[in-house]
Amino acid sequence: MTYLLQISSIVNLHDVTNIWHIPLLLRDQKAHEAILKVLDLQLVGKVPREPKLAEWTERASKFDKLKTPVKIAMVGKYTGLSDSYLSVLKALLHASVAMERKLVLEWVPSCDLENSAAKETPEAHQKAWKLLKGADGVLVPGGFGDRGVEGKILAATYAREKNVPYLGICLGMQVAVIEFARSVMKLGGANSTEFDPATASPCVIFMPEGSKTQMGATMRLGSRRTHFLANNCKSAKLYGNATSIDERHRHRYEVNPEMVPLLEKAGLSFVGKDESGRRMEIIELPNHVFFIGAQFHPEFKSRPGKPSPLFLGLIAAASGQLDLLLKRSCSVISSKPTPPRYSTNGTGTAVLTIKPYPNGHAKKALTSLVNGCYANGNG
């Protein structure tokens, strides 16, 4: 069958100041009408179907008005390929938009932070530390393998000691725990069994949901529930004082539950756990301006008009707006969270005093502008 291409089906998408202008270009050229016509869906009850893009239009049109920058150091080993962290990058952008800040992303190769790099590649070492020290906040994303891990641990040390806002995701949380054990608890050999199977202080261990010996299907994947154990922690407040949240996971290794009592005694708070109480989901340093680690991946559920609460917290802390954000978040829900009740069979249930939020967000997104993302300040 031959299909004759109509002029109305041809659209021109030229360069724009930000990608959120693209839907508006499509609308202005009536691309939606051409699509609906082909699908024979253009009329419902004789009323033309028009896209509802008022909020989107406002967000895109105010893009260039945001001038105040916020610098975030992304410490990872795939910094040469930014698409490796695309979901994290977008989540940072969504949060920056909500806090009305222009995102400046500093890509910091974790390998270049390591002591060995000072001898092997001194210029790269100096540059990496300069970028890290010049940032308003530090983010260590997830990853696999031992390359660059020591650099990530050094980044966590810097953020903890210098009171710089820090968000660790998955591996980023794990290295924060390892760093705390080494620096605060003086356990010099503390490590993850992923990187050192013979470590005498296994802070992070292999904890699959299935068999530990059978190959395949060993990752903990998909949405899992996290219960907050404290009503005064920053992460619970960011989620609107929710008692529990559902966020997506993708990992094999987790914090060793046998070491948790020692870590807590030394001052590290495990404010979020799963229903069994054996899987650590969220850590915090209570006396730090913002030091949070999450075993799950909050970036997976971030959206332009509904940014991730933990990313909001990082950007707010990095731009001096955290107190205001926490007040806004806590004003949404006044009920105090109730800790989960653990059952003896390891499938504990939570006593909820408010409606849980299955999508991982406990409050309505802030009305805000759109801003751009600049890599190392060069656009």
Told to judge if 284 belongs to the known catalytic residues of this protein, a careful annotator would answer no
Q: State the catalytic residue, choosing from 170, 233, 281, 284.
A: 170
Nearest of 367, 371, 376 to residue 68 by alpha carbon: 371
The alpha carbon of 325 is separated from its chain's Cα centroid by a whole number of angstroms, namely 17
Told to judge if 297 belongs to the known catalytic residues of this protein, a careful annotator would answer yes
Q: Among all chains, which residue has been given the structure tokens 């949070």?
A: 292
Per the structure block, which two tokens stand in for 325?
């954000």
Q: State the catalytic residue, choosing from 106, 179, 275, 299.
A: 299
Nearest of 135, 177, 132, 157 to residue 294 by alpha carbon: 177
Told to judge if 258 belongs to the known catalytic residues of this protein, a careful annotator would answer no
What's the Rg (C-alpha) of the chain?
23
Q: State the catalytic residue, choosing from 21, 125, 249, 297.
A: 297
Catalytic residues, which ones?
Answer: 170, 297, 299
